[in-house]
């Protein structure tokens, strides 16, 4: 696709105030530090900055065009050769441009939301669909009202399918993303306590996630988790067709005969409308199996044969710091799940630790789970009880009062105090974890990204290099 200035301005409901309207842009950037020559710079306004203030820096970096609020474009020099477009709102302009690109590309869009497992489901879905199609996916966690539009700019290459994730931390955000992306296939993985600090209840989180149902037509497909009662309660009014996946309840794509293989992954017999298949994946735990089932349901919608799904499932690898298995010197194995955490995901990770065999000891290094609001202490205490029932030999927690409450709850549930420690920071946790860990140990490291569990992982990697 060609991003010509006149077309871009029309898509944004903007005005070319000067410059050549036929000039084409090679891409879109919102950051002058990473802007490549020939790109269109969109000056977004944030709480503590105004991107329009960086217009001159963008010109110096080689921008071919600028998008700024009215009337700031007319104040810029006219002799630079750069196209200047004025709009009412630069964030809305980015979203409108992304929507126009999405429509003009002809690409089918698969959008994934949920409280946990979005990124893994996105990666697995893209891997399955790549068996037959040209597929792009949004990078990393570019999944909000700014990141998603930037990701959709890759549709200028006209891939056959785009697999994207929808994140949110407030009501109305997914509604915006649905409008921008207009996905033909929507995937709703689960509802949990993630971001509970921004909502009054888990039910309110479910209502916000349910915005994934908006704007559907009779041809839209929803892939929904049959095991999640909150999802099931909200899908009856969906305008399109619902395909379900699950483990505990009857579903269109359902896993039975499960075998938890600890750090080796999980296997199951999977029944589908296209027949049954034996599937094994090195991704850890039942939570990841549910993610694979969701991706399988999407693959079936696009006609991917089950044998190719099973073949690709066996070769899957986790995204960085999302359940990576690190086999270090002296037989030490680290489960690096330090990217993020919420109570349900934490319990799933502890279940992997419980089912793992062959290690000398099981050590859980657990960081505070953030954004849980008034229920933070109680939810951490619940996890503490799970730790005590998970065959954990040593527990090390780090972070604030909720993490301390988790440690105390584990002791109250039966773990001896000598096997439980709490420290305030990831640096302290890293030093103590290195001191504790012996040859042959299995170490789980998990916590919210903000408490920096990756520091613990890197220390263990250095200690057992």
Q: Is residue 53 part of a domain?
A: yes
Q: Is residue 185 part of a domain?
A: yes
Q: Is residue 93 part of a domain?
A: no
Q: Is residue 59 part of a domain?
A: yes
Are 246 and 192 in the same domain?
A: yes
Tell whether pTM > 0.85: yes
Domain end: 285, 313, 341, which one?
313
Are 123 and 267 in the same domain?
A: yes
DSSP secondary structure of 201-225: -HHHHHHHHGGGGTT--TT-EEEEE
Domain end: 294, 313, 332, which one?
313
Q: Is the pLDDT of residue 406 over 90?
A: yes
What is the pLDDT, as a whole number, of residue 195? 76
Asked whether 353 and 164 are in contact (CB, 8 A), the reply is no
List of long-range contacts for 353-356, beta carbons under 8 Å, 24+ apart = 353/390, 353/391, 353/392, 353/442, 353/444, 354/389, 354/390, 354/391, 354/392, 355/260, 355/261, 355/262, 356/262, 356/263, 356/442
Q: What is the mean pLDDT of residues 284-303?
A: 97
Are 118 and 252 in the same domain?
A: yes
Q: Is residue 101 part of a domain?
A: no
Quote the domain boundaries for residue 286: 106-313
Q: Is the pLDDT of residue 140 over 80?
A: no
Cα separation, 165 vs 113, whole angstroms: 6
Domain end: 313, 332, 366, which one?
313
91: preceding bond cis by omega (within 30 degrees): no
* CATH of residue 267: 3.40.1190.10
Asked whether 259 and 268 are in contact (CB, 8 A), the reply is yes
* CATH of residue 35: 3.40.1390.10
Q: Which band of pLDDT confidence, cut at 50, 70 and 90, is reported for residue 155? A: very high
What is the pLDDT, as a whole number, of residue 46? 85
Are 387 and 285 in the same domain?
A: no
Cα separation, 275 vs 95, whole angstroms: 41
Cα separation, 101 vs 362, whole angstroms: 50
Q: Is the pLDDT of residue 448 over 80?
A: yes
Q: Is residue 172 part of a domain?
A: yes
Are 205 and 175 in the same domain?
A: yes
Are 200 and 230 in the same domain?
A: yes
The pair of structure tokens assigned to 16 is 């070319």
Of the candidate ranges 5-9, 26-30, 233-237, 270-274, the one whose mean pLDDT is the lowest: 233-237
Number of separate domains in the chain: 3
Q: What is the mean pLDDT of residues 398-416?
A: 97
What is the pLDDT, as a whole number, of residue 142? 84
Q: Is the pLDDT of residue 359 over 90?
A: no
What is the pLDDT, as a whole number, of residue 28? 97
In the block, residue with structure tokens 């000039």? 23
Are 166 and 247 in the same domain?
A: yes
Are 347 and 392 in the same domain?
A: yes
Cα separation, 453 vs 68, whole angstroms: 39
User: Alpha carbon of 135 to those of 122, 132, 141, 258: distances in Å?
Assistant: 11, 9, 17, 30
Question: What are the tens digits of pLDDT across the range 185-237?
Answer: 999 999 988 777 888 899 999 999 999 999 999 999 999 999 999 999 999 88
Q: Is residue 95 part of a domain?
A: no
Comparing 451 with 358, which gets the higher pLDDT? Answer: 451
Are 293 and 392 in the same domain?
A: no
Q: Which band of pLDDT confidence, cut at 50, 70 and 90, is reported for residue 290? A: very high
Q: Is residue 194 part of a domain?
A: yes
What is the pLDDT, as a whole number, of residue 154? 95
Question: What are the tens digits of pLDDT across the range 66-77?
Answer: 999 999 988 888
Question: What are the tens digits of pLDDT across the range 309-347?
Answer: 999 999 999 888 999 999 999 999 999 999 999 998 999
């Amino acid at each position: 696709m060609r991003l010509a200035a006149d077309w871009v301005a029309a898509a944004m409901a903007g005005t070319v105030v000067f410059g050549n309207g036929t000039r084409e842009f090679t891409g879109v950037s919102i950051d002058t530090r990473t802007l490549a020559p020939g790109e269109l710079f969109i000056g977004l306004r944030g709480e503590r900055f105004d991107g329009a203030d960086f217009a001159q820096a963008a010109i110096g970096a080689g921008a071919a065009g600028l998008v700024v609020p009215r009337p700031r474009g007319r104040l810029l020099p006219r002799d630079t050769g750069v196209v200047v477009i004025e709009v009412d709102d630069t964030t809305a302009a980015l979203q409108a441009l992304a929507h126009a690109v999405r429509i003009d590309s002809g690409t089918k869009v698969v959008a994934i939301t949920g409280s946990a497992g979005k990124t893994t489901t996105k990666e697995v879905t893209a891997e399955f669909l790549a068996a037959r199609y040209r597929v792009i996916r949004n990078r990393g966690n570019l999944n909000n009202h700014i990141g998603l539009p930037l990701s959709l700019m890759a549709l200028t290459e006209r891939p056959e399918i785009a697999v994207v994730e929808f994140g949110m931390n407030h009501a109305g955000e997914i509604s915006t993303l649905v409008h921008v992306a207009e996905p033909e296939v929507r995937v709703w993985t689960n509802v949990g306590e993630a971001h509970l600090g921004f909502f009054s209840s888990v039910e309110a989180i479910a209502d916000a996630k349910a915005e994934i149902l908006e704007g559907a037509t009779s041809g839209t497909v929803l892939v929904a988790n049959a095991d999640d009662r909150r999802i099931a309660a909200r899908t009856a009014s969906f305008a399109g067709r619902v395909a379900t996946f699950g483990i505990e309840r009857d579903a269109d794509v359902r896993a039975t005969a499960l075998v938890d293989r600890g750090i080796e992954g999980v296997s199951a017999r999977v029944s589908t409308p296209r027949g049954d298949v034996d599937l094994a994946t090195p991704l850890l735990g039942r939570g990841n199996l549910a993610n694979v089932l969701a991706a399988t349901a999407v693959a079936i919608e696009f006609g991917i044969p089950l044998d190719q799904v099973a073949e690709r499932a066996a070769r899957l690898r986790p995204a960085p710091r999302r359940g990576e298995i690190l086999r270090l010197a002296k037989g030490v194995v680290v489960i690096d799940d330090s990217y993020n955490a919420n109570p349900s995901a934490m319990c799933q990770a502890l279940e992997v630790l419980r089912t793992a065999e062959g290690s000398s000891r099981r050590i859980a290094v657990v960081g505070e789970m953030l954004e849980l609001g008034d229920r933070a202490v109680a939810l951490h205490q619940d996890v503490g009880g799970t730790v005590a029932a998970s065959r954990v030999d040593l527990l090390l927690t780090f972070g604030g009062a909720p993490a301390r409450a988790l440690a105390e709850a584990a002791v109250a549930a039966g773990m001896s105090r000598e096997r439980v420690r709490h420290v305030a920071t990831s640096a302290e946790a890293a030093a103590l974890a290195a001191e504790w860990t012996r040859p042959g140990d299995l170490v789980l490291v998990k916590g919210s990204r903000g408490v920096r569990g990756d520091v613990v992982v890197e220390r263990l990697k250095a200690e057992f290099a």
